[in-house]
Each structure stands twice: as structure tokens, then as C-alpha cells.
Amino acid sequence: MRTYIQPLKKSAEDEIKVRVDRDVARGLKDYCEFLQSPQSYVVTEVIRKALRKDKAFTAWLGRRGTIEPTPGAPPNSRRLQASTPAAQAV
């Protein structure tokens, strides 16, 4: 059975700090254990999927001209420009 998140791939990283609901943190810990992957990888892949699948968001980025060309694409192939609010918040 294929899992929602695929196995770990190494890439360049930036550090961010966020607070999440306690239940989300527990779920994340359990999911990481299930996937045998670090939290940073799982969070990155979930956000990458959300950015890629949110059609309203990608349309909004396209209208702004701030997308190169697909959000959530693997590192070094496509990136959000730092001028977008989403890129600044991450």
C-alpha cells in the first residue's frame, strides 16, 4: 500500500519555528514513527503537497507572477519567490 508521504529525499533546508495544536503534534509524532522519517521531512512533504494541490493558491500565484512555475515542486527545480507572503511566512 502506498502511503500519503513518500520516502525521505535529501535537499537543502531552511529552519522555521511553528506552534501546532497538541493533537496535531501527537499525530505528527505517530505518523513520523509509522513512516520511519524525521518530523522535518514529513512536515515538508505535507506542505509541498498542499501547495501543489491548492488550485486557488496556484491560480493566485500565477496572477501575481510570483511563481516559478509550480509551488511544492522538488528543491532546485522550482521555487516561490521570496516576495510572496507565503514564502516569507515559511
Q: What is the pLDDT of residues 30-89, one digit of tens each?
A: 999 999 999 999 999 999 999 999 999 989 988 887 655 555 665 544 444 444 444 444
Mean pLDDT score, 3-25: 85
- Comparing 6 with 82, the larger pLDDT belongs to 6
In the chain, where are the structural domains located?
22-89
Query: What's the distance, CA 19 to chain centroid?
Result: 16
Mean pLDDT score, 4-22: 83
pTM score, two decimals? 0.62
Residues 4-22 as b/e (b if ≥16 CB within 10 A, e otherwise) read ebeeeeeeeeeeeeeeeee
